[in-house]
Amino acid sequence: VANGEDFSVHRGAPGKGQGELHLEEAEQAGEGEDRETKEARQVKAERDRVSKENQDVPHWELQRMIMEYQRRVNFRPLSLNDDIEEHLITVAVRKRPLNESDLQKKEIDIVTILNKNTLVVHEPKYKVDLTKYLENHTFKFDYNFNETCSNEMVYRFTAQPLLKTVFEGGFATCFAYGQTGSGKTYTMSGAFGENDNEQGIYALAATDIFQEVNSLKLKHLNLVISCSFFEIYIKKVSDLLNNKKTLKILEDGKQQVQVVGLTEKVVSSVAEVLDVIRQGNIERASGQTSANLNSSRSHAIFQIYLRAKSNMKRVYGKFSLIDLAGNERGADTFSSSRITRLEGSEINQSLLSLKECIRALGRRGAHLPFRGSKLTQVLRDSFVGANSKTCMIAMVSPCVSSCENTLNTLRYADRVKELGGGGDAHL
Ligand code: ADP
Ligand code: MG
């Protein structure tokens, strides 16, 4: 339509000398085509071009608007030289890159990370007359990692600063939150593929822990390191280091929670830790009709314990690293399968409890609703105690088709740290 108008304006444009018009006409006539036909041909060519562009790049209009937005803003991505801050609760966002399969689906990237603290989601919207526009949602977090950041970079600002707490004899906890396919497992477990072999936060933390316990400062404590790896699926707790044996949770009179019979494997090198991770991940995916789907519907909890040789009964310090179940909603809502609906509501409930427990940690002394789910029950230590610290990494996919899930993830992450006061307290 717009092109048609252009042509009509041009045709009737005043001020154009008669002579010029005659010249053009003469030229066109020379090509054996009158002006009307040529214009019609041009209009058609333009329509075909747009239609082809629509097929090749269905989101070209959206892409153009995002590029327009990006041209007008300043970027200052997080750098290795940036300060590492001390928070009781750290909330960070990591955006994964578009991958092959996204590109095949002609996906585009609708998440712009402006700087360390600021990120923008460009939500496509339609006006009443059906013209497209962007609704730009701005969010602030402690750190935002763009698609070029490595696991090591993410680790440096999120989990690594928590090690101090563990060495001081406290409880540190790091959560990976987000929809299925957003990069939780990649970040926590790492990639074991041939093309992409990148250590994740579990292994990076273990490496630092081994180094530190052998340092001069800690050597006298004679600390022994061990790991456990288990999952929670609906209400079932399974040991990933013991053939998925079902485990019971017990709470004593002092509200101390225990996972009874959980395998705790003593490890003496990073290679052994990597073996534990690999074994656990295989267990996690095993025995399921649809491995991919099911493992994304469970919480995986990897824990590293420090115990003094002289007193192995007592945990000196503990680092819990959790690959949470996918938080996506919607797709399952209309599913007729009872189990999927049960899964969905259970995951939802546990993630709501988790948010409340982290917020309670932020307001020290506040009521701690840890019995709200199995997940928060087994992690009770993470939310109490004088020396507990937490970090949440909210993973997002850059894809336009994930826009709603991405916004949900960011809103949740935002509320985890929303002021009650303590949540944002610098220590
Ligand atoms: P989730 O555990 O949240 O379901 P995954 O970690 O399995 O998601 O990631 C989904 C896919 O994206 C995997 O193929 C993974 O290798 C890839 N991926 C995720 N994050 C990254 C990243 N930062 N860089 C490269 N590939 C990634
Ligand atoms: Mg996963």
> Using a 6 Å cutoff on CB, does residue 180 contact ligand 1?
yes
The tokens of 67 are what? 């590029």
Centroid of ligand 2 to alpha carbon of 45 (angstroms)? 47
> Using a 6 Å cutoff on CB, does residue 200 contact ligand 1?
no
The tokens of 80 are what? 């290795």
Side-chain-side CA neighbours of residue 14 (13 Å): 0
User: Does ipTM exceed 0.90?
Assistant: yes
Which pLDDT score, from 0 to 100, does residue 365 have?
77
Confidence check: pLDDT of 12 > 70: no
> Using a 6 Å cutoff on CB, does residue 366 contact ligand 1?
no
Of 185-194, 206-215, 345-354, the poorest mean pLDDT is in 185-194
The tokens of 168 are what? 């001081």
Residue 48: band (very low, low, confident or very high) from pLDDT cuts 50, 70, 90: confident
Confidence check: pLDDT of 21 > 60: no
> Using a 6 Å cutoff on CB, does residue 398 contact ligand 1?
no
Q: What is the mean pLDDT of the chain?
A: 87
Protein residue with least CA distance to atom 22, ligand 1: 96
Q: Which ligand is nearest to the CA of 328?
A: 1
> Using a 6 Å cutoff on CB, does residue 190 contact ligand 1?
no
Residue 175: band (very low, low, confident or very high) from pLDDT cuts 50, 70, 90: very high
> Using a 6 Å cutoff on CB, does residue 395 contact ligand 1?
yes
Pocket test for ligand 1, best of 94, 95, 96, 104 (most atoms within 8 A of CB): 96
Residue 2: band (very low, low, confident or very high) from pLDDT cuts 50, 70, 90: very low
Q: Which ligand is nearest to the CA of 180?
A: 1
Kindly list the distances between the CA atom of residue 21 and the CA atoms of 8, 12, 18, 42, 102, in Å, as whole numbers in the listed order.
15, 11, 5, 18, 50
Centroid of ligand 2 to alpha carbon of 361 (angstroms)? 26
Instruction: Answer positive or negative: Cα dihedral of 201, 204, 209, 212.
Output: negative
- What are the φ/ψ torsions at residue 121 (nearest 5 degrees)? -105, 125
pLDDT in tens, 254-278: 888 999 999 999 999 999 999 999 9
Q: Which ligand is nearest to the CA of 150?
A: 1
Name the residue among 349, 370, 348 with its Cα closest to residue 359: 370
Confidence check: pLDDT of 420 > 90: no
Work out the percent of the chain whose per-residue pLDDT is above 90.
68
What atom of ligand 1 comes closest to residue 186's alpha carbon?
A: 6
pLDDT in tens, 147-159: 999 999 999 999 9
Protein residue with least CA distance to atom 16, ligand 1: 186
Which pLDDT score, from 0 to 100, does residue 293 have?
57
The tokens of 221 are what? 């404590």
201-234 per-residue burial string, b: 16 or more CB within 10 A, e: under 16: bbbbbbbbbbebbeeeeeeebebbbbbbbbbbbe
Position with higher pLDDT, 40 vs 420: 40
pLDDT in tens, 80-109: 999 999 999 999 999 999 999 999 999 999
Q: Which residues, 6 or more positions from 30, have their beta carbon under 8 angstroms from its beta carbon?
A: none
> Using a 6 Å cutoff on CB, does residue 281 contact ligand 1?
no
